[in-house]
Amino acid sequence: MTVDVQQLLVKQEVEDFLYREAELLDERRFEEWLELFTDDVRYFMPMRRNVPADELAREFTREGLDVNWFDEGKDTLTRRVKQIRTGVHWAEQPPSRTCHMVSNVQVLSAAGDEVCVKSRFLLYRNRVETETDVLVGKREDVLRRVAGGFQIARRKIVLDQNVLLAKNLTFFF
Amino acid sequence: MSLDGLVDVARGVISREIFVNESIYRQELEQVFGRAWLFIGHESQIPKPGDFQASFMGEESVILCRDRGGKIHVFLNSCRHRGMKVCRYDDGNTTEFLCPYHGWSYGTDGALVGVPFAKDAYGEQLDRSRWGLIEVAQMENYKGTIWATWDRDAPPFLDYLGGYKLYFDLLLDAWDGREGGTEVIGGIHKWLIPCNWKFPAENFSGDRYHGVSHRSVDMVGIGPSGKGRRDMQERNEARWLDVTFPDLGHSMIAFLRKHDSPIAPAYQDAPAVADYFRRCEEERTRRRGELWRLFGGPGTVFPNASPLARQPRTLAVWHPRGPHQTECWRIYLVDADAPPEVKDFLRHYYIRYSGPSGLTEQDDMENWNYAHAASRGTVARQHPYNYEMGLGRATESFEDHGLKLPGRIADVTVANASENNQRGFYTRWRQFMEAKSWADLKR
C-alpha cells in the first residue's frame, strides 16, 4: 500500500480549516468568519421535497431559480453579521448558544487552486431557557487556495429536513 | 360557546385564553377551519393532467390534483378503508393514488378504482361509487389561486371575498394592472413556529405598530433600493389606510397615493428592474384610472391566508398545529411575463426578507414565540391583550378626491398605526365561533 503524503497533507489542511471555521462561529467571531469567504462566494441551502425514490433528481429546489433557504453571496452574508451586531436583532438577543460539529470530511478533488470537500455537520442551537434545535446534514464546499490557507468559494448546505423544524435560521452553517 | 368576556371588540380587549386554550382550539378546528374558505395552492403548481400537490386545510392533509381530464380537485388525503395517507409526496404526476396499507387505489378524479380481492372478499357488497376519496364541498380557482371549503352551505368564494376583492387583487393582478397574470416561483417555504396561528394571522392583518421588531434589518438595509427593508418613498408620499371588513374578517394595510403625486422611485439597486416597474406603473395608471393610486401591503384573508401585495409579494398560510404551534407554508409571486432579470432580482429580495432565513421575519418568529409562551400561565391568562388603538376612528364611507374605497377604513397617516384591522379579524372570528351554521354567518 502506498500512501500519498500529499493527499494526507491536503486533508489535514482542510480539516484544520473547517474546525477553525467552526470555532470562529461558536465564539461569535463573525467578522473573522466572513474573511474566510471569497468575494464571489455562493452560499446556498435548498429545500427538499418528498418525492418517489425514482424521482430524486427533483428532490431539491434549484439554485438561482427557485425559492431556497439561502441563495446568496457575500453581500447578504455580511448584512446578516451586521444585523447580529446591531444589538436589536431580537431573534439573537440574547444570543443563541451554538455548537458546530464537523465530521466525515472527504476531499473529493484537488485540482489547480481549488479543493472540493464534502463533510457532515451537526449544528446544536440552544437559546433563552429551553429552546433547542439540532440541525444535521451535509456540506459541499469549494475551497480556494489563497496566501496563507483557504477561502470558501462555494458552500452548498443540505439539511436533512423537509418542513424546517426550527422557527428561524439566525445562525450560520 | 359564548365568548362574552373573552372577545370584546367594542372595548378593544381580547382574552389570552383564545390563543392558548385547548378546548377553544378544538372549537376553532370545527367552526372556523371546518367552514371557511381556505387557500390550497396555485394552479401553476399543477399545470398538467395527473399533476398533484400536497396541501393542508387546517390540520387535515389534502391533495390538490388535476385529473386526467384537466379538472382540478381537492381531496382529503386519507384512504376510505383505514385512513392511511394515499399520498406522502409533496408533488408529482400520477395516474392513481395507491394506498400502501391494504391497496385500495383511487383515480386522479377521486374514484375508487382498485380494491384487492374485491370479488372474493366483498362479493357484491362494496358499492365503489360511495367510497371514493372525500372531496371538498366547494372549490374555486380565483385568478390562479385555488380555494376550498368543507361546508356546502358556505357562500360562493367571490361572495366570501366580498368588497375585499379590490384589495386582494393587488396581490394577484399583474403590476401593470392587467387582471391575473401572476405566477409562483418554484419552492414552498415550510416551517414551524411555536405560537398560536392567530399571532401571524392578526399580525399580517394590519400590524403597522411593530417597527421596533424590525429595527435591526432597517439599520442594515436589505431593500430593493439598498436601504431599509423595502422602498419607503412611495409609502411616505401616500395616505396610510388600515382597511378591514368586520363582517367578512378580511383586512389589509393599504396605501393611497395623493391624487397629484408622481410615481415614486423604487428598485434603485437595479436600473433594469426600476425601469420595468416604472413602465408597469405608467401602464397601470392608464388601465386603472384613479385606482392606480391604491397599492397594498400585508393582509389576511380570513382565517389564515395572508397576502403581502407588494414588497415582497407573497402568500402565506398559517396552518394550525395545536393551540401552541403553527406550520407556515409560503409561496412567492412574480408577474408571469416579467423579464428574467426582474424575476431573479425579486427572488433574491424575497429570500433575504422572508421566512425563517429572512433578515426581516426572523424577528417576527421570536416575538410570536415568546408572546405566546408568556401568555400560557394561569395568572397571565387572567389579563387580556389590549386592542384599543384607534378605537372609533374608522369610517365606512372613505373618499379621497372622488375615489371611494370599500371597507371600514382608518386613516393612520398621522397616527402611524391602529388596531382597526385586528378588531375586524376578531369580530368575524367571534361570529364563526358563536354561529351554529353558515345560516347564522350569512345574516
- In DSSP notation, B36-97 reads S-EEEEEGGGS-STTEEEEEEETTEEEEEEE-TTS-EEEEESS-TTT---S--SSEEE-SEE
Is residue A67 included in any domain, yes or no? yes
**B204 plus B335 within the same structural domain:** yes
Inform me whether the C-beta atom of residue B92 falls under 8 Å from chain A C-beta atoms.
yes
Q: Percent of chain B at pLDDT above 90?
A: 97
Which residues of A touch chain B, with CB atoms under 8 Å apart? Answer: 45, 47, 49-52, 55, 61-62, 64-72, 76, 79-80, 82-83, 86-91, 128, 131, 162-170
- Bridge-based pairing of strands B91-93 and B112-114 is unpaired
Answer whether B17's CB lies under 8 Å from B24's CB: yes
Q: What amino acid occupies position B283?
A: E
Q: Same domain, yes or no, for B189 and B296?
A: yes
Verify that B267 and B357 share a domain, yes or no.
Answer: yes
- The verdict on residue B155 lying in a domain is no
Residues B221, B290: one domain? yes
Q: How confident is the model at residue B95 (pLDDT cuts 50, 70, 90)?
A: very high
pLDDT at A3 (0 to 100): 76
**A147 located within any domain:** yes
Same domain, B308 and B388: yes
Q: Domain boundary at B105, B138, B171, which?
A: B138
Q: Is residue B31 part of a domain?
A: no
Give the CATH number of the domain where residue A115 resides.
Answer: 3.10.450.50
What mean pLDDT is reported for chain A?
97
Residue B88 and residue B198 in one domain:
no
CB contact under 8 A, A66 and B352: no
In a domain, A109, yes or no: yes
ipTM: 0.96
Query: B327-342: per-residue pLDDT in tens?
Result: 999 999 999 999 999 9
Same domain, B275 and B320: yes
**B328 is in which domain, residue-wise?**
162-441
- Give A115-118's long-range contacts (Cβ < 8 A, gap of 24+): A115/A10, A115/A14, A115/A142, A115/A143, A115/A144, A115/A145, A115/A150, A116/A140, A116/A141, A116/A142, A116/A143, A117/A14, A117/A18, A117/A141, A117/A142, A117/A143
Residue A166 within a domain: no
What type of residue is B329?
Answer: W
Residues of A with Cβ-Cβ distance to B188 under 8 angstroms = 47, 67
Instruction: Identify whether residues B167 and B132 lie together within a single domain.
Output: no
In this prediction, residue A144 carries a pLDDT of 98
What pLDDT is recorded for position A1?
63
Beta-carbon separation of A86 and B215 below 8 A = yes
How far is residue A57's CA from residue B219's CA, in Å, rounded to a whole number?
40
> For B362-386, how does the pLDDT look when each residue is reduced to its tens digit (9 = 90+)?
999 999 999 999 999 999 999 999 9
- Whether residues B133 and B172 share a domain: the answer is no
Q: What is the pLDDT of residue B1?
A: 62
Q: Distance between CA A165 and CA A83 in Å, rounded?
A: 23
Residue B190 lies in a domain: yes
My answer on whether B67 and B201 are in the same domain is: no
Q: Does B90 touch chain A (CB under 8 A)?
A: yes
Between strands A149-159 and A37-45, the pairing is parallel
Q: Would residue A102 count as lying in a domain?
A: yes
Q: For the full predicted model, state whether its pTM sits above 0.95.
A: yes
Q: Which of A72, A86, A88 sits opposite B352 (nearest CB)?
A: A72
pLDDT band for position B262 (cuts 50, 70, 90) = confident
Question: Which CATH number belongs to the domain containing residue B118 in this structure?
Answer: 2.102.10.10
Instruction: Say yes or no for a CB contact (<8 Å) between A79 and B222.
Output: yes
Q: What is the tally of structural domains in chain A?
A: 1
- Total count of domains within chain B: 2
d(CA A25, CA A39): 19
Q: Which residues contact B208 (CB under 8 A, 6 or more apart)?
A: B240, B242, B253, B412, B416, B417, B418
Dump pLDDT digits (tens) for B144-178. 999 999 999 999 999 999 999 999 999 999 999 99
Question: Tens of pLDDT along A14-27?
Answer: 999 999 999 999 99
- Please state whether beta strands B7-8 and B13-14 pair in parallel, antiparallel, or not at all (unpaired): antiparallel
> Distance between CA atoms of A136 and B237, rounded to whole angstroms?
47
- pLDDT of B385: 98
- The answer to whether residues B95 and B53 belong to one domain is yes
Q: Does B354 map to a domain?
A: yes
Q: Is residue A37 part of a domain?
A: yes
**Domain, as residue range, for A116:** 2-159
pLDDT above 80 for A2? no
Q: What is the pLDDT of residue B399?
A: 97
